[in-house]
Structure 1
Amino acid sequence: MNQPQRQTDRKREAILQAAIEEFRQHGFDATSMDKIAATAAVSKRTVYNHFASKDELFSAILLQLWQSAATHEALTYAPEVRLQQQLEDFLYRKMVMLSDPNFLDLSRVAVAATIHTPDRARDMVEKLGKNEPTIVTWIKAAQNDGKLIAADPLLMADMLVGQLKAMAFWPQVAMGQPILNQQQQLALIQTATRMFLGYYGTPSTL
């Protein structure tokens, strides 16, 4: 009774991986459900049994992309550990994800597709908005502990992560710039952390 379910799961995963490959190589518009079915070695009917449309399939991939990001960004506030160390550890994990070539490739496809179809981007934002990033929860906990000043946690999170994306994500996605080397990554992480704590930290932070 469990075997058919496992086979169904395997087929769904094969379809997702095939779609990722096709989208990466050819972009959203040039990719068809026929191509995805061929790459996944399943029938077109099987693809449609799992995903009603190419848009739905693409949304599933974007959701998978976000879930991968959320896994890398897992963070729990530890009052006994210095904020600088906690933030640097978090930003390092974030940097690992942002520097992954597969993640960058799929991000390029996602950006291109959502630019041309704003409705698709809006739907994804609504889905992802239901899940609060762990960094926002962490910031709230640090504020409650008196380690960060009272300010908008969402804005604070955007300011922190935005510093990484401004140099280690968007230039690579939009302009094809090379991935930062390890020394550049560490320097950016340390600078972003110090700037964040310098502005939002309280006297008890350091």
Structure 2
Amino acid sequence: MKRTEKKRKDIIDAAIDEFREQGFLGATTTSIAKRAQVSSRTLYNHFESKESLFDAISEIMLKQNQSMQPVSYDPSRDFVEQLEDALWQYIAVITDETAIGLNRMVLSELIRDLDRSRKFFSETEAHDYPMTKLIGEAMDAGVIRKADPVFATNQLLGLVKSFFFWPEFFLGENPTPKNVLNDCIAMFLAHYNPEN
């Protein structure tokens, strides 16, 4: 890693800690620079403002949440197994300790700032979840009822997140039994049964 890249990473890491502890309003670029062991001038060479630093962290969070590769439908395998495997991969990505920390930091600021929240969610709308391809291709193959695969994916992930992401996010642990994922899949498949 080049020296400038390391300094940028140090600034981002320091900002994440500062925002988490002080909130966006309480955080200062001076404190962030001090934590990162860089001058304020160095910080401003990388980020023009506290807002741009926050935006960079939000982008890192989005990229981390999108790190899972799209999943293709395999006609030689049982669709339920494919869906279950893909969902467990997705759950592992979104409940990773770093991902949860970034989500807590970013979402707390989005709750406070409606304009920033609107901007953030307009950016996330352009992102396809890794399961969208799997669901769309299964629809094309007639395995599940044809519909909008993006909408269907959002329905399924809404169920999954309520049991596997939000408890981790709010409680720091997940008391949900693993077999609840089977119920989420069953509800999804009942709605998208090709015979409906």
Q: Calculate the TM-score normalised by the size of structure 1.
A: 0.84
Q: Is 1:142 matched up with 2:142?
A: no
Counterpart residue number, 2:128: 132
Name the CA distance, whole Å, in 2 between partners of 1:159 and 1:131: 15
> Which amino acid in 2 is paired with 1:145?
A
Q: After the TM superposition, which residues 39-188 of structure 1 pair with which residues of structure 2 at under 5 Å, given as runs?
A: 39-72=35-68, 74-173=70-169, 176-181=170-175, 184-188=176-180
> Which amino acid in 1 is paired with 2:174?
L
> Which amino acid in 2 is paired with 1:179?
E
Query: Cα offset for 1:171?
Result: 4.1
Name the CA distance, whole Å, in 2 between partners of 1:94 and 1:53: 33
SS in 2 for 1:131: coil
Structure 1 unaligned regions, length at least 5: none
Query: Cα offset for 1:153?
Result: 1.7
CA RMSD of aligned residues (A): 2.1
Structure 2 unaligned regions, length at least 5: none
Contact 2:167–2:174 (8 Å) recurs in 1:
no
Name the CA distance, whole Å, in 2 between partners of 1:166 and 1:73: 22
Name the CA distance, whole Å, in 1 between partners of 2:177 and 2:23: 29
Q: Is 1:10 matched up with 2:10?
A: no
Contact 2:132–2:150 (8 Å) recurs in 1:
yes
Contact 1:18–1:39 (8 Å) recurs in 2:
yes
Question: Residues 97 and 26 (structure 1 numbering): CA distance in 2 closer, same or farther, change over 3 Å?
Answer: farther
> Which amino acid in 2 is paired with 1:109?
M
Contact 1:99–1:179 (8 Å) recurs in 2:
no
Q: Calculate the TM-score normalised by the size of structure 2.
A: 0.87
Residue of structure 2 aligned with 1:23, choices 19, 25, 36: 19
Report which stretch shifted further, 80-89 or 94-103. Answer: 94-103
Name the CA distance, whole Å, in 2 between partners of 1:25 and 1:126: 27
> Which amino acid in 1 is paired with 2:186?
R
Report which stretch shifted further, 69-78 or 88-97. Answer: 69-78
Name the CA distance, whole Å, in 1 between partners of 2:150 and 2:22: 35
Question: Residues 12 and 30 (structure 1 numbering): CA distance in 2 closer, same or farther, change over 3 Å?
Answer: same
